[in-house]
Chain A
Amino acid sequence: MKLLTHNLLSSHVRGVGPRGFPLRLQATEVRINPVEFNPTFVARMIPKVEWAALLEAANTLHLAEVPTEPVEGYECDEAFLRKMHHVLLEVEVLEGTLQCPESGRLFPISRGIPNMLLSDEESES
């Protein structure tokens, strides 16, 4: 699971709503995966990034060189975009857990795939 995806994930446990974001990340195995750099895509994703959640996740994974906020004119700043590309798309969590901040429910991550299946009582439907 990439950090970009983690930044957009929100818990869908019944009754939690917007308080289900962000999911607290705990990782026991992380891998760095080289991914082709696409500056257009990274620039488009920057406005969607929730910075507090990203910094918290990056701290848990002990990542270095994480920008703390979007730089002015980031669309043209290649160094900034490359750093963001590395943090968002190249860091992969293979084993760990995600915790819903409101209900405390744990979602395990195995082989990079989070298990988001809810039981009958927990799901809205």
Chain B
Amino acid sequence: MASRGGRPEHCGPAELFYDENEARKYVRNSRMIDVQTKMAGRALELLYLPEGQPCFLLDIGCGSGLSGDHLSDEGHYWVGIDISPAMLDAALDRETQGDLFLGDMGQGIPFKPGSFDGCISISAVQWLCSSNKKSDIPAKRLLCFFSSLYSVLVRGARAVLQLYPENSEQLELITTQATRAGFTGGVVVDYPNSTKAKKFYLCLFSGPVTVLPKGLSENPDEDEASESRFTNTRVPFRLERRSLVRKSRAWVLEKKERHRRQGKEVRPDTRYTGRKRKPRF
């Protein structure tokens, strides 16, 4: 099982980690059920489905059906896909209302284009970032997953994926592949200042660019934006950068500004930025 404080993805593939013992936790443990249901509720909230209309949704990594049950409670119909037979057996025992599939999300979603009105995923997508076979390339699997997800969603539908990224590089890899697949959107962070309560929701839109919802925080007066926007539009660089001499201070400042726009971590600009160094450099 996962080493103390370690991440389950490092110990092996998902279908082996989620065995009967783990599946039992997702059925019996009330704290587990509570957390999963709350996250499912928040994901459904971020999906902004039209009021009072029953929708056909996809649940990725549905597991024992905890999130799916919440969807059913809200009057929606859903299809769930999971890679662990033990978790799906637990879902059958709990008599979930949605249809279940045994499948690997990294191989694509086997549905016709425009099948689903929306998609949620709770604590599943980060498993795509670890590779357990020589043939597994995380970036390729992520792109395959996001491309097929983009296809099976109705035009203008959203996908809200709650995940536990290991670090910012992993989150960046995931968002880059989502953008390459055609999605726009960003990451909504709830309770960014609390280690326990902090949750990441990757909100993806398959239609025109819309406003990203604000993340929750303990202090409602906080203005800080904890999201970075990812769009398909390119900043026209020929006009801006043609006049800049390569390696000059202005060029360095422009490059740092560009990286900030992309949401990368950049050191603050000081009087030492782009300073001419001694010849030994």
Contact = CB atoms under 8 A, between A and B. Distances in A.
Given A1-B99, A9-B111, A10-B112, A40 B133 contact: no
Nearest to A100: B110
A10 B97 CA distance: 22
B54 A41 contact: yes
B101 A113 contact: yes
B92 A40 contact: no
Contact of A11 (B88, B92, B102, B110): B110
A5 interface: yes
B8 interface: no
Nearest to A1: B99
A12 B108 contact: yes
Q: Output the residue of B108, B135, B148 with the most chain A CB within 10 A.
A: B108
A118 to B, nearest CB: 5
Q: Output the residue of B54, B88, B102 with the most chain A CB within 10 A.
A: B102
B100 interface: yes
A63 B183 CA distance: 41
A12 B107 contact: yes
Contacts of A125: 106-108, 137, 140-141, 143-144
Interface string B81-110: 101000011001000010111111011111
Nearest to A7: B112
Interface residues of B, number: 35
B53 interface: yes
Nearest to A107: B110
A31 to B, nearest CB: 13
B77 interface: yes
A75 to B, nearest CB: 14
Nearest to B137: A125
Contacts, number: 80
Interface string B108-126: 1111101100000000000
Q: Output the residue of B77, B110, B135, B140 with the most chain A CB within 10 A.
A: B110
Contacts of B108: 12, 123-125
A108 B107 CA distance: 17
B104 A113 contact: no
Interface in A75-125: 89, 111-118, 120, 123-125
A79 B47 CA distance: 33
Interface string A53-82: 000000000000000000000000000000
Contacts of B250: none
Nearest to B81: A116
Nearest to A20: B110
| 6 tightest Cβ-Cβ pairs between the two chains A and B | A125-B144, A116-B103, A41-B54, A12-B110, A123-B107, A8-B115
Given A8-B111, A38-B75, A125-B106, 15 more contacts: A2-B99, A8-B112, A8-B115, A9-B110, A10-B110, A10-B111, A10-B112, A12-B148, A41-B54, A44-B54, A48-B114, A116-B103, A116-B110, A118-B104, A125-B137
21 contacts: A8-B111, A9-B110, A10-B112, A12-B110, A38-B75, A44-B53, A44-B54, A48-B114, A89-B77, A111-B89, A112-B99, A113-B92, A113-B101, A113-B102, A114-B101, A115-B103, A116-B110, A117-B83, A124-B108, A125-B106, A125-B108
